[in-house]
């Protein structure tokens, strides 16, 4: 039955059924660390200890797996904890290819934590498949894709990179945080593992930190589950409940994020205070065609702009918006604005920032689901030249 149900329906029902003890329609918050055993080694249900598994978390993991079209799901205490779990598939001497424009915390984890354990990371501009072919070798264990990228919103051809990785026996992981499973399903395009920071669109309300991994490969699942149990970077039960509540509205939230962002991106493209707009849905975006092929029904809620007038103008914009609040993070119902060079990407070395185009006049917008006219008016007053 589940296989026939559409995304919106699975978002509400997958992994969940009325509580057998009471009939409660909402999945209960099983706020318990342990479970009683009638005799040693015999469980009443499936559970013995909540680091290993907890019913609220199990419901969330099954729900998320269903949304990505995966057989298995695993949840973590944060997006970077989920990322670290994947890196544990590597041993000293293994090599990793990482797309060059990634979340700052991902960059830090690969280059400053796992590098010390002997895992070597090479940055590649994966919008160029020839560059991927040139960089990959028999030592490459893992290929890490993030698309659209953060903050320059480059779009990487997941099927193209996955086919190259497959020839070399490398595991492909896609950080699908920006696109969400509603718009993009990497496993269907040939990837092995999908990663999310649930803190962003999956949670969607800027009130909880979490991460998850999904795969259909039994062997990968076994290894990842072992790391989850052994390292214990699992989410709290309350958080699992919040994320389970959030996925129910993911489809309608993402639709509104996309509609608002696409209208605002077009409007910004014609604004005289803006030098350039990066949005995968615009015909002017360098990988617009790839985006149209692999993102279904929308291009996401993130927009990046180069403001005319350098750092001063960029700072003025982020300080003057009233609805777009100046803060890190993204993907919530409320609109946010931020300055990557000073805020989210400050830890990226200046030479790399320059190479990637993370300039002082770059500003990133996370377009929320408020009324689009109010958001446009807010940006317009913030961009107006003052007398």
Ligand X SMILES: *Cc1c(COP(=O)(O)O)cnc(C)c1O
Known catalytic residues are 51, 103, 175, 200
Whether 189 contacts 179, CB under 8 Å: no
- Does 304 bind ligand X (CB under 6 A)? Our answer is no
Q: 361 φ, ψ to 5°?
A: -100, 20
* Separation CA 374–CA 324 (nearest Å): 10
Candidates 61, 157, 175, 239; binder of ligand X (CB under 6 A) is 175
- Does 209 bind ligand X (CB under 6 A)? Our answer is yes
Residue 75 CB, shortest distance to ligand X, in Å, is 11
Complex with ligand X: residue 89 or 274, whichever CB lies closer: 89
- Does 211 bind ligand X (CB under 6 A)? Our answer is yes
Whether 370 contacts 267, CB under 8 Å: no
CB-CB neighbours of 118 under 10 Å: 11
* Separation CA 110–CA 83 (nearest Å): 9
Do strands 171-175 and 302-307 pair parallel, antiparallel, or not at all (unpaired)?
A: unpaired
- Does 233 bind ligand X (CB under 6 A)? Our answer is no
* Separation CA 33–CA 38 (nearest Å): 17
Mark the segment that binds ligand X (CB under 6 A) among 41-49, 62-70, 195-203, 285-293.
Answer: 195-203
- Does 103 bind ligand X (CB under 6 A)? Our answer is yes
Q: Name 342's Cβ contacts closer than 8 Å, sequence gap at least 6.
A: none
* Separation CA 105–CA 352 (nearest Å): 15
Whether 367 contacts 255, CB under 8 Å: no
Complex with ligand X: residue 240 or 383, whichever CB lies closer: 240
Residue 285 CB, shortest distance to ligand X, in Å, is 18
How many residues in the shown chain lie near ligand X by CB under 6 A? 16
Residue 196 CB, shortest distance to ligand X, in Å, is 8
Complex with ligand X: residue 75 or 382, whichever CB lies closer: 75
Mark the segment that binds ligand X (CB under 6 A) among 19-27, 103-111, 264-272, 350-358.
Answer: 103-111
Local structure of 270: helix, strand or coil: coil
- Does 105 bind ligand X (CB under 6 A)? Our answer is yes
Residue 258 CB, shortest distance to ligand X, in Å, is 17
CB-CB neighbours of 139 under 10 Å: 12
Complex with ligand X: residue 103 or 241, whichever CB lies closer: 103
* Separation CA 92–CA 300 (nearest Å): 37
Q: Please give the C-alpha separations between residue 321 and each of 303, 327, 365, 383, in angstroms, as whole numbers.
A: 15, 12, 11, 9
- Does 340 bind ligand X (CB under 6 A)? Our answer is no
Site string for ligand X, 76-95 (x = CB under 6 A): --xxx---------------
- Does 54 bind ligand X (CB under 6 A)? Our answer is no
Q: Is the peptide bond before 4 cis (omega within 30 degrees of 0)?
A: no
Site string for ligand X, 130-169 (x = CB under 6 A): ----------------x---x-------------------
Residues of the shown chain interacting with ligand X in the complex, contacts defined by CB under 6 A: 78-80, 103, 105-106, 146, 150, 175, 177-178, 197, 199-200, 209, 211
């Amino acid at each position: 039955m589940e296989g026939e149900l559409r995304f919106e329906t699975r978002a509400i029902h997958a992994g969940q059924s009325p509580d057998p003890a009471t009939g409660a329609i909402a999945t209960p918050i099983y706020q318990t660390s342990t479970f009683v055993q009638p005799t040693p080694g015999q469980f009443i249900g499936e559970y013995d200890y909540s680091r290993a598994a907890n019913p609220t978390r199990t419901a969330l993991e099954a729900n998320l797996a269903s949304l990505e079209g995966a057989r298995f799901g695993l949840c973590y205490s944060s997006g970077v904890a989920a990322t670290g779990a994947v890196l544990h598939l590597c041993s000293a001497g293994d090599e990793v290819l990482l797309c060059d424009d990634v979340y700052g915390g991902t960059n830090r984890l690969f280059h400053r934590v796992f590098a010390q354990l002997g895992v070597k990371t090479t940055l590649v501009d994966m919008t160029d498949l020839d560059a991927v072919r040139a960089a990959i070798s028999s030592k490459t264990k893992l290929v890490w894709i993030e698309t659209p990228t953060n903050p320059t919103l480059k779009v990487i051809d997941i099927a193209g990179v996955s086919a190259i990785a497959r020839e070399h026996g490398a595991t492909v992981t896609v950080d699908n945080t920006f696109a969400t499973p509603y718009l993009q399903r990497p496993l269907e395009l040939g990837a092995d593992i999908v990663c999310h920071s649930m803190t962003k669109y999956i949670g969607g309300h800027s009130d909880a930190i979490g991460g998850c991994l999904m795969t259909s490969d039994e062997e990968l699942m076994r290894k990842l589950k072992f790391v989850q149990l052994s390292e214990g970077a699992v989410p709290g039960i309350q958080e699992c409940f919040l994320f389970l509540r959030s996925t129910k509205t993911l489809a309608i939230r993402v639709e509104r994020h996309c509609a608002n962002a696409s209208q605002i991106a077009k409007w910004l493209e014609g604004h005289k205070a803006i030098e350039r707009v990066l949005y995968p849905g615009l015909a002017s975006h360098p990988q617009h065609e790839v985006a149209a092929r692999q993102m279904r029904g929308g291009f996401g809620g993130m927009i990046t702009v180069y403001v005319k007038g350098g750092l001063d103008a960029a700072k003025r914009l982020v300080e003057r918006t009233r609805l777009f609040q100046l803060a890190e993070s993204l993907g919530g119902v409320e609109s946010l604005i931020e300055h990557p060079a000073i805020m989210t990407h400050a830890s990226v070395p200046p030479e790399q920032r320059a190479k990637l185009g993370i300039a002082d006049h770059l500003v990133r917008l996370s377009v929320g689901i408020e009324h689009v006219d109010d958001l446009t008016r807010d940006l317009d007053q913030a961009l107006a030249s003052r007398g």
